[in-house]
Amino acid sequence: MTYYTPYATTVVGAYSVPRWYEILEREVENGGLSRADMANAQFIASQGAILDHDTAGIDILTGGEMHRRTNNRHAPPNAMLNFFWSKIPGFSDETRPKPITGQDPNVTHPAAVCNGPIRYADLGLVDEYRMVSRFAAGAVKVTMTGPHMLAKVAHDEYYGNLTTMMQDLAKVINRNLKDLEAAGCRYVQIDEPLFAAVDEDEVAAAVEAINMAIEGLNQLSVMGHICQGNYAVGEDYDGQIGHRYFTGSYPAELITGINYDALLVEHDMVNAYRGLLGNKRLAVGAVDVQDLEVESPDTVVQRIQNHSWLVPEQTLITSTCGMNHLPRDIAFGKLEAMVTAKQILDPARRQQRAG
């Protein structure tokens, strides 16, 4: 199994999306540019994201999920949902607004419609891994939305049963992850942000589906990103979305029943896992993607040291959520703060300095 060094740095996935994405997409829609032109812009943006991660010194990086978006607003193709729905047989091309949770019916997503049985599809994970690996100096991680999120936010006009729908999605994900492992990838991340917004029976069914999705992987180290909906806020973004809409009970005990190697959570939720972590690692989301100020390395260090029960060998460093909505200079500054915090915390580096 892949080795993690103490305080290894990683990213949640999405990186700063240029605002010109939206302008180019409008040009595509108006016929001024082709879809291939947009794809080329996405490719160049991916290269830029990889370079930023490597330049900052991130240990386990992604391609920024840049190729999964045509803009950075809460609209299709959203990198977590619409990008994958569009590839999976069983989902129509149609989207309709749907509340993400019952907690606020005004928080909606343009959701795909499931109108038939979910069947296997190549989700593009292997191609993504190969593309990012061509340019990355650091270890490459590929992110994948989990079966609960994909099923819960969609309009279901076929299954009438969330558990069955999740399990069919898990089968599709599992085959894609096995292909990813065979291609040489050693890190994957499953994203599930809705666990705090649903009841425990639903979480338990989701845990079973996720374990189905990651079953049989021998060389691929699986991380799980569990957040509470850290979306962008501000006048530049859809007024419906805001910080931590997905609040409620926090089912840490059920979450630790997933066969992950590491969990990525917000720094203020770390103590929920005290006594439950076992041999899993925990990535502390010590830089806040809702804060437009770049944290000092000392602030990042303090947020990690607040959890003294978490030993260095089990501690990773990350952000609270994706950085897609942040200006690039702020996102890059937060990456650097994470890396400098690691240098302060890393016991091997401390011993070298003392010697």
Average pLDDT, the chain: 91
Is 117 buried (19+), middle (13-18) or exposed (0-12) by CB count in 10 A?
Answer: exposed
Res 296 pLDDT > 60: yes
pLDDT of residue 232: 55
Q: Convert the pLDDT of each residue in 158-203 to its tens digit.
A: 999 999 999 999 999 999 999 999 999 999 999 998 898 889 999 9
pLDDT of residue 239: 45
pLDDT of residue 2: 57
Res 98 pLDDT > 90: no
Burial 265-279 (b: 16+ CB within 10 A, else e): bbbebbebbeeebee
Task: Give dist(CA 143, CA 225) in Å, integer.
Answer: 9
pLDDT of residue 240: 43
Locus of tokens 């103590």: 271
**Residue among 245, 334, 296, 234 at smallest CA distance from 16:** 334
DSSP string, 161-212: -HHHHHHHHHHHHHHHHHHHHHTT--EEEEE---GGGS-HHHHHHHHHHHHH
Task: Give dist(CA 334, CA 336) in Å, integer.
Answer: 5
Q: Poorest-confidence range of 14-23, 160-169, 258-267, 332-341? A: 14-23
352 falls in which pLDDT band (50, 70, 90)? very low
pLDDT of residue 108: 77
- Quick count: other Cβ atoms within 10 Å of Cβ 52? 21
Among 19-33, 71-85, 113-127, 224-238, the range of highest mean pLDDT: 113-127
Task: Give dist(CA 228, CA 198) in Å, integer.
Answer: 11
Res 254 pLDDT > 80: yes
Q: Convert the pLDDT of each residue in 317-343 to its tens digit.
A: 999 999 988 899 999 999 999 999 999
Res 258 pLDDT > 50: yes
Mean per-residue pLDDT, 134-151:
97
